Amino acid sequence: MAKKETKEKPLEKMTAKELREVAMSLEEITGASGMNKAELISAIRKARGIEEPVGRKKSGSVREMKHKMKELKAKREAALKEEDEKMADVLRKRILRLKKKTRRVA
């Protein structure tokens, strides 16, 4: 009897733990232990040369948005020190808009 070759589950069906194991076995991927499931799937697809499925418009990851919020907060603090209330208010509104986006994405 020939032993059946087991097929790998689709990436979307794997758990984050399984995806990390797959990512660790690929040399192109570094920092897999700090990635979440969506980031792991994206990195594995990129390393294997699989194209991302075309779907709805990606609004960006939460980490990217939080990084942008951090930059805007620093700019707002600088504007407040320079007593530029108008710019500080504009930056505050941008920060709030990003906060709402992070809640929708998560």
Cβ density class 54-78: b for 16+ within 10 Å, e for less? eeeeeeebeeebeebbeebeebbee
Q: Is the pLDDT confidence value at 77 over 50?
A: yes
- Per-residue pLDDT, averaged over 65-74, amounts to 94
Is the separation of the CB atoms in 52 and 71 below 8 Å?
A: no
Contacts of 106 (CB under 8 A, 6+ apart): 62
Sequence spans of domains, the chain: 11-48, 62-105
- Which residue is it, tokens 């920092």? 31
Cβ atoms of 36 and 16 within 8 Å: the answer is yes
- Select the more confidently predicted residue: 4 or 18: 18
pLDDT-derived band of residue 87, with 50, 70 and 90 as boundaries? very high
Mean pLDDT of all residues in 21-37: 88
- Report the pLDDT averaged over residues 6-28: 86
Answer for the pair 98, 68: CB distance below 8 angstroms, yes or no.
Answer: yes
Tally of CB atoms within 10 A around 19? 22
- What integer is the mean pLDDT of 10-18? 88
CA distance linking residue 21 with residue 81, whole number of Å: 48
pTM (2 decimals)? Answer: 0.48
> What is the average pLDDT across 8-19?
87
